[in-house]
């Protein structure tokens, strides 16, 4: 069996979008992909509404926590996905020839209104992430799994 692909989701705070993407892809792809997430300016905790939305989807994110992208600098990845425009602008260089994708997703943590309206914003973004992670998973299935390029 070949080594799993390594994938990193990068966002600004690593408290909502990238955390949801990490949890969803981990669930969808299983052991064939090592999935990580990080933020360019990591938050103190995962946003509670992100955790709630994942729970509604049957995904346990209790073991996840925000991490700074600097923890991963120097490590090779097969795929790097930025989940917001700011992260794309501030994402550090990673070695190798990683495939790069950019998902310009709204930040549900900036939603205002009632708790229901804010939860709806998280659900909307989670739905977008789910669709994108399903599509990404299909493209990863077609990719050779020789592990990350160290070139």
Instruction: Give Cα 96 distance to the centre of its chain.
Output: 20
DSSP conformation letters of 9-22: EEESSSSSHHHHHH
- Quick one: which of 62, 127, 111, 69 has its CA closest to 94? 69
Residues, the chain: 151
Helices 115-142 and 48-56 meet at what angle, rounded to 10? 60
Separation CA 23–CA 26 (nearest Å):
5
- In this structure, are strands 5-11 and 99-102 parallel, antiparallel, or unpaired? unpaired
Task: Give the pair of three-digit tokens for residue 140.
Answer: 């990863």
Active site residues: 11, 84, 91
């Amino acid at each position: 069996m070949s080594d799993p692909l390594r994938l990193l989701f990068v966002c600004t705070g690593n408290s909502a979008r990238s955390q949801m993407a990490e949890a969803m892809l981990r669930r969808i792809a299983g052991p064939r992909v090592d999935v990580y997430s990080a933020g360019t300016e990591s938050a103190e905790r995962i946003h509670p509404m992100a955790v709630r939305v994942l729970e509604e989807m049957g995904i346990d994110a209790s073991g996840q926590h925000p991490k700074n992208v600097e923890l991963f600098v120097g490590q090779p990845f097969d795929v790097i996905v930025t989940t917001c425009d700011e992260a794309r602008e501030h994402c550090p260089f990673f070695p190798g020839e990683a495939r790069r994708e950019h998902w310009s997703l709204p930040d549900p943590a900036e939603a205002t209104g009632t708790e229901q309206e804010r939860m709806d914003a998280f659900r909307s973004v989670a739905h977008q992430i789910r669709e994108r992670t399903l599509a990404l998973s299909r493209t990863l299935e077609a990719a050779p799994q020789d592990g990350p390029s160290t070139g």
